[in-house]
Amino acid sequence: MIAAEHFNITKVKYSKLTDINLENLPFGKYFTDHMLEVDYEDGEWKKAEIKPYQPLVIDPSLAAIHYGQSIFEGIKAYKNASGEAFIFRPLDNFKRFNISAERMQMPQVPEAIFMAGMKLLIELDKDWIPQQEDHALYIRPFMFSSDHMIGVRPSDKYKFMIILSPTGPYYSAPMRIYVEEQYVRAVPGGVGYAKAAGNYGAAMYATAEAKKKGYDQVLWTDAFEHKYVQECGTMNVFFIIGNKAITPGLETGTILAGVTRDSVITVLKEMGLEVEEKRLSIDEIIEAYKLGQLHEVFGTGTAATISPIKELKYRDYVMEFDVDSWKTAPEVKSRLNDIRYGKVPDSHGWMEKI
C-alpha cells in the first residue's frame, strides 16, 4: 500500500514561476512545476512519483483514447493573508472521484495516494497559489485506462495523475443561457452523476450550437420530457424564487453532486433561506418569472464558483435579470470567499491545511 513516504520525488532544477505573473490569470492555461503520476497494474497501485511537469508518451492503442475510461476532479487551493495554504473540501472530491471510478469500471484510488499525494504536490508548488480575489490553484486529479489494447473491455492498467494550474475566474461576466430541448447531457441509468471525461465531450456540440445563436452556455433539460432543468453548462444551477432557493435534486442520477453546490446549500441555509432540492420544471420557472418572483439564477461549480445568469431563453420566451441589483448570489459568494481566503473562522471544517 502506497503512503506519502513512498512517493519518489524529483524536483525541477529551475522553477517556471519566474516567467508567470500570478495576477489576472486565465482559467487553466498555466501549469505548475511538478505533477503526480501513479500506475495501477496487476491489481495494485505502484510506482508513485512526483516529478517535473512533462508530456506523457502514449501508444496509439491507449485504451482511454478509444473507449473513454477517463474520469477527473476539480478542486481548489487558496492562500490566506499570512501565506498559509489550504485546500477546499478535498475529501469530498476524493469520495466523488471513487464514485466516478466505480461507475466507469475503474479501480478505486486509495486515500493515501489521492490526499497525501495531493498535499505533497501542492507543498512543492505552494508558491504558485495566487492570492488575488477570485484566483486559486486549480487542482486537477484524473485517471485513465492505460492498457495498450483495442479490445472492448475494462483495462488492466490505469494511470492516476494530478496536475495543478494557477487560475483566475472561469466565466468573467454574467451569462446568457439557452434552454436546450434537443440534446441531452445525461439520462437516468447513465453516467451523469459521474465526472466522466465523456460527459464534457458529449456536451460540446450542443454548447457550440447555442454559442452560434449568441448564448454562452445551455441549460440542460431532462432526457424524456425536456421539461425539468438539470445542469447549466458544466455547473449546477440555483433559482431564487420568492424567499426560497431551488436546485434540481440528485435523485435521478443525472446531476453531478457538486461540492460547491453542497457548500452553497449550506451557506444559503445559514443566510436564512429555505433550500429545496427537487424536480424543477421550466414551466414553474417561467411562471415565477411572470409573477416577478424569480429573483436570481446562478450556476455553481469549482471552476466557476458562483456565476450569475443574466438571460434565460426558452423557445421564444426571454427572461432577463438585473444582475447588479442581486443580493443573494453576491452574498453567498462573499461568504464562501471569506472562508476560502481565511478571513473568517472555518466553522464547517472545509479547509484542509497543507
- Residues forming contacts to ligand COI in the complex (CB under 6 A) are 74, 200, 234, 301-304
Minimal distance, residue 198 CB to ligand COI, in Å: 12
Residue type, 287: E
Minimal distance, residue 54 CB to ligand COI, in Å: 22
Q: For CA atoms 223, 228, 232, 235, give the dihedral sign.
A: negative
Nearer to ligand COI, 139 or 294 (CB): 139
Rounded to whole angstroms, how far apart are CA atoms 175 and 218? 10
Rounded to whole angstroms, how far apart are CA atoms 319 and 241? 14
Nearer to ligand COI, 146 or 302 (CB): 302
Element (H, E) at 309: strand 305-314
Minimal distance, residue 123 CB to ligand COI, in Å: 22
C-alpha cell at 290: 411572470
Rounded to whole angstroms, how far apart are CA atoms 312 and 290? 13
Q: Give the three-class secondary structure for 112.
A: helix
Q: Are 38 and 47 in contact (CB under 8 A)?
A: yes
Nearer to ligand COI, 81 or 204 (CB): 204
Minimal distance, residue 234 CB to ligand COI, in Å: 4
Minimal distance, residue 299 CB to ligand COI, in Å: 10
Q: What residues contact residue 44 under an 8 Å CB cut-off, 6+ apart?
A: none
Minimal distance, residue 264 CB to ligand COI, in Å: 13
Rounded to whole angstroms, how far apart are CA atoms 118 and 114? 6
Greatest alpha-carbon span in the chain: 63
Q: Which of 108, 198, 210, 99 is nearest to 160 (CA)?
A: 108
Q: Which of 23, 13, 308 is nearest to 173 (CA)?
A: 308
Nearer to ligand COI, 62 or 75 (CB): 75
Element (H, E) at 77: strand 75-79
Q: Give the three-class secondary structure for 240.
A: strand
Nearer to ligand COI, 73 or 147 (CB): 73
Rounded to whole angstroms, how far apart are CA atoms 78 and 282? 37
Nearer to ligand COI, 207 or 328 (CB): 207
For the chain, what's the residue count? 354
Nearer to ligand COI, 221 or 234 (CB): 234
Nearer to ligand COI, 22 or 203 (CB): 203
Minimal distance, residue 174 CB to ligand COI, in Å: 18
Minimal distance, residue 45 CB to ligand COI, in Å: 24
Residue nearest to ligand COI (CB): 74
Element (H, E) at 201: helix 197-212
Angle at 59 between CA 53 and CA 63, to 5 degrees: 100
Minimal distance, residue 26 CB to ligand COI, in Å: 12
Nearer to ligand COI, 53 or 200 (CB): 200
